[in-house]
A and B are shown apart, each in its own frame.
Chain A
Amino acid sequence: MRTGKHIKNILFRSIGLFVFLILWELAPRLGWVREIFLSPPSVVITALIEMLLDGSLMPHIVASLLRIFRGLLLAASVGVIMGLLFGYFRRVNQTLDLLFQFFRQISAFALFPVFILFFGLGEVSKTAIIFWASLWPILLNTSAGVRDVEPVLIRSVKSMGASKMYTFLNVILPGATPQIFTGIRLGGSYCVMAVVAAEMIGATSGLGYLVLYSQQIFKVPQMYAAIVALALLGIALNGMLGLLERFFSSWRKL
């Protein structure tokens, strides 16, 4: 009974996706769009499977994943530490708030040329753009998490004689944890966007490179296959970080 309902639910939720796939298939087939510009999904999926089987896709996925993890790890460490300081010390918060609001608005893509100027076309500038894109949601969510910890919890452990250190480690940090992971999940999705841009300039590997390169040599189905692979990668990463987020906020009342 219940599994039947579950399957029904999934089917119901997939209607939009199915309609989209059918329209996509029909558009080039019926000549609404020229097929050399838009490959139908059946062709794209075939290309994707072929690339997976002949091993030409995997190195690009690995390259992109490595860049994402490097950038995200760096952004998470810097963002969480700075976010904790930023949220905990009111002085720090007051002096840096305007600056951070300003920085947050600067698109990582706009800064890419600057990074290239400083770090060259190699991996450093690529990590920098991914780092910048995911840093701000992590930092700002962390500091908001620190500030949103219920004051009465802090007051109660203080009244029990807790030191500042104890309060920080046992009340503020765990209290802010769910929001820290919300920030990391958000940062993760920004990462996937930034890695594409990073790989379109001066790269010879990665899914972003594959999209651009396939377009340049007119392998249109492969181009779409790489785009689909990017979407799947994003979904997988988001799902993983979502699980992590849920794990760390399991104590929160639903």
Chain B
Amino acid sequence: MVKVQARSVKREYSIVNSVGKKETLSVLKGLDLDINEGEFITLLGQSGCGKTTFLNLLAGLEKEDEGEILIDGKPLSERDFNRGVVFQNYALLPWRTVIKNLEIGLEIRGVKKKERREIARKYLKLINLTAFENQYPHQLSGGMKQRVAIARVLVYEPELVLMDEPFAALDAQTRESLQIELIRIWEAHKKTIVFVTHSIDEAILLSDRIAFMSDGKVNEIIDVNLPRPRFKYMTSSSEFLKIHEKISFLLQEEAERLQSYGAYL
């Protein structure tokens, strides 16, 4: 079943260029993408290809200029729908304890205090941070903070989870263990996840499909047919390497295109 349909979505920004003149910068140039219910899809591409902008549109933080985004067949703007965003820098409220951070989404939805605490505790257990219930975010490590940020979004059971390079600020080891944890959580809840990353390995390890973006469009969709559950050792399997090679090639091509464009300018 298709959850999200993006139809020739366009998004422009007006910016002031280096000479001080106003200019329109078009970031999304007619993006088409279908996202299936319950799938893990990754947006991959060079910086500035429009990944984050598309994510912001889905998050309801910005509006498209042209085209449309349909959720379950209805326009995004007409539907009051639940989504959760996990940001790269966690975005936890620093004056709230871990448990109170987990409760935010429920608070907004008017869930009663006692029930709120109960649900939040359940998710705290899911991310193995029960002992940190009453700590403040600054007392946690980066990896712990990101686990809280992920749980904070799952708590109110959103239909769509959007993740904007959630592991980019973490060290390699923490990153790996969080990838595995994310997959475990995802397999248990089967939420639709849209994931943005720069890392090819991460994209292949996590996703059902990878949408390769360039120049404000989805250029190619790559199916990842690795069996689940997935493990780190699979990165040396032939299927993994085949996909890796394909994406590396696409990125290389893209880099060359951007370079020649730069030379042309």
Contact = CB atoms under 8 A, between A and B. Distances in A.
Nearest to B80: A161
Contacts of A162: 104, 108
Interface string A143-175: 000000010110111111111001000110011
A160 B108 contact: yes
Nearest to A254: B138
A161 B85 CA distance: 11
B138 A253 contact: yes
Contacts of A252: 94, 138
21 contacts: A152-B87, A155-B85, A155-B91, A156-B87, A158-B60, A158-B61, A159-B59, A159-B83, A159-B162, A160-B84, A160-B85, A160-B156, A161-B82, A161-B105, A161-B108, A162-B104, A166-B107, A166-B108, A174-B93, A251-B94, A251-B138
Contacts of B59: 155, 159
Contacts of B136: 251
Interface string B137-170: 0100000000000000100100000100000000
Contacts of A157: 93, 104, 108
A48 B153 CA distance: 63
B85 A156 contact: yes
A171 B91 contact: no
B108 A155 contact: no
Nearest to A156: B91
Interface string B76-116: 00001011110101010111000000001101110000000
Nearest to B94: A251
Given A160-B156, A170-B104, 6 more contacts: A152-B91, A155-B87, A157-B104, A161-B108, A174-B95, A175-B95
A162 B91 CA distance: 15
Interface in A170-199: 170-171, 174-175, 177
Interface of A: 150, 152-153, 155-163, 166, 170-171, 174-175, 177, 251-253
Interface of B: 59-61, 80, 82-85, 87, 89, 91, 93-95, 104-105, 107-109, 136, 138, 153, 156, 162
Contact of B89 (A152, A161, A170): A152
Contacts of B83: 159
Contacts of B93: 153, 157, 170-171, 174
Contacts of B153: 160
A152 B109 CA distance: 20
A158 B155 CA distance: 16
B184 to A, nearest CB: 23
B85 A159 contact: yes
B61 A159 contact: yes
A162 B107 CA distance: 9
A171 B104 CA distance: 11
Contacts of A251: 94-95, 136, 138
A162 B153 CA distance: 13
A18 B25 CA distance: 66
Contacts of A160: 84-85, 104-105, 108, 153, 156
B60 A159 contact: yes
Nearest to B89: A152
Contact of A253 (B60, B94, B108): B94
| A-B pairs, 4 with minimum CB distance | A156-B91, A253-B138, A251-B95, A159-B85
Contacts of A177: 95
Nearest to A252: B94
A150 B108 CA distance: 20
Contact of B61 (A155, A170, A175): A155
B138 A159 contact: no
Contacts of A163: 108
